[in-house]
Amino acid sequence: MDGRVTLNQVAMRFGDFTAIQPTSLEIESGEFFSFLGPSGCGKTTLLNMISGFLTPSEGSVAIGGVDMTRVPVNRRPTAMIFQNLALFPLMSVYRNIEFGLEVRGIDRKQRRDKADELLDLVALSGSGDKPVAELSGGQKQRIAIARALAVEPRVLLLDEPLSALDLKLRQHMRTELKAIQRKTGITFIYITHDQGEALTMSDRVAVMCDGRIQQVADPMTLYRQPRTDFVAGFVGENNRFPGRVAAVDGGMVTLDAGLPAPLRGHADAASPLAPGDEATLYVRPEQWRVGSAGDSSLRFGGVVQAEHFEGAWLTLEIALDQGGTVRAHVPQALESAGIESQLAVGSPCRLDYSPRGALVLPGVERGRANEESVDVAATA
């Protein structure tokens, strides 16, 4: 069963508006693939082109190597799980799951066997005769999965199906979805704006912005080696230091960002830098070491502006002495306990990072309103 999905220069335009720039992408058979991006980035449009609800303005969509561009939605080997699940409220659980089989003319006995098998898979055996309205949120979720799997799709498309669930259930369903994907070996294509979902479940993630794929990579690479300013800011948090390249030494770059000490970080192998280039250094909040005002081993000084207790860590907003604000995480493990008593709001502190934990990308992106990253020099 070949569940490869190939997008070949697909583009989607609605009048003057380009929802999807020409995009090519190959999703492997049996892969858990996510499209991650803010709302309006075009991820749902891409999903609709794969499912057949939209015909691309340009380019082609192939599934398992067969061109599907003009194949209507009901003839495609895909099944979709909708954001609101779209279970049929007037039918029982059995009837919902069997709908796709009934359409295919499969007889009653086989339908029921298949439905029981799927109810088993989603751990809801015995609830086949219940009306859909009597199910809880998590149960509805599972029935939607069973209904989609019943038609034995080669590709399962999931449109933010977990967004309506509460946090605990959502985390639980992530594990289950991943387990079901492994068991069935079906290609899962998952749409989400929640990076936690994308990073925890996916084999690979495509980060999208303004109708363009910014980067396709496995979750760890995406976090450690973002390719673009958008990815660096959207996936996880980042502190930005725009400046000019002072020196390049193998994989390490020294950046002059108008701070008392030069900033060092490793460069992205795919985008080489030369001295004099404009570039931005990114430091993640967890890469900072924060110490008391007397700790002279830390190169930068600042004043704590605000602190947010987040359980496992404390997030500090620190105003650097040279201007600009940095967000830093202080882990709340027992060994570091006590340090936060010296880091009360208004007290001075010292901080530094390890160059191995910082990344330098070419270019200086200004004016992007991105609440998840802090642009240090722009406020300086």
Partner 1 sequence: MWRQLRNRFGLPLTMAIVSLMGIWLIVMVLLPQWQMIDYSFHPSLLPAERGGAKDVWSLTNYATFFHNEIHLAIFFKTIWSSVLVTALTLIVSYPLAYYLAKVATPGQAALCLLLLIVPFWINEILRTFAWYIIFAFRGPLNELLFALGLIDRPIRFLNGDTGVLVGMVYAYILFMVFPLYNAIESLDTNQIRAARDLGAGWGRTHRRIVIPHAKPGIATGCIMTFMLAAGSYAVPALLGSPGSRWFTQIIYNWFFEGGDWNQGAAYAFLLLVLCIVFVTAIMRIFKVGLGDIAK
**Helix, strand, coil % in the chain, rounded to nearest 5:** 30, 35, 35
Kindly state the smallest distance separating residue 293's Cβ from partner 1, in Å: 58
Phi and psi at residue 334, to the nearest 5°: -60, -40
At 355 the three-state DSSP class reads helix
Spatial distance between the Cα atoms of 203 and 140, rounded to a whole number of angstroms: 26
Query: Mask 319-358, x = binds partner 1 (CB under 8 A)?
Result: ----------------------------------------
Spatial distance between the Cα atoms of 37 and 41, rounded to a whole number of angstroms: 6
223 contributes a contact to partner 1 by CB under 8 A: no
Among 90, 179, 247, 344, binds partner 1 (CB under 8 A): 90
Spatial distance between the Cα atoms of 54 and 50, rounded to a whole number of angstroms: 8
The alpha carbon of residue 44 and the mean position of all alpha carbons in its chain are separated, in whole angstroms, by 14
b/e 33-54 (16+ beta carbons within 10 angstroms → b) = bbbbbeeebbbbbbbbbbbbeb
DSSP line for 184-214: H--EEEEEES-HHHHHHH-SEEEEEETTEEE
Which C-beta is closer to partner 1: that of 34 or that of 78?
78
Kindly state the smallest distance separating residue 351's Cβ from partner 1, in Å: 49
313 contributes a contact to partner 1 by CB under 8 A: no
Kindly state the smallest distance separating residue 90's Cβ from partner 1, in Å: 5
Positions in 141-180 near partner 1 (CB under 8 A) = 147-148, 151
* Amino acid code (one letter) for 30: G
First CA to last CA across the chain, in angstroms?
57
100 contributes a contact to partner 1 by CB under 8 A: yes
Work out the number of other CB atoms within 10 angstroms of the CB of residue 12: 23
Which C-beta is closer to partner 1: that of 81 or that of 180?
81
Which C-beta is closer to partner 1: that of 72 or that of 294?
72
51 contributes a contact to partner 1 by CB under 8 A: yes
Query: Applying CB under 8 A, what is the total number of residues that bind partner 1?
Result: 23
Kindly state the smallest distance separating residue 105's Cβ from partner 1, in Å: 10
99 contributes a contact to partner 1 by CB under 8 A: yes
66 contributes a contact to partner 1 by CB under 8 A: no
Give the tokens for residue 249. Answer: 């030494």
Which C-beta is closer to partner 1: that of 104 or that of 182?
104
User: Where along the sequence are the contacts to partner 1 (CB under 8 A)?
Assistant: 51-53, 73-75, 78-80, 82-84, 86-88, 90, 99-100, 103-104, 147-148, 151
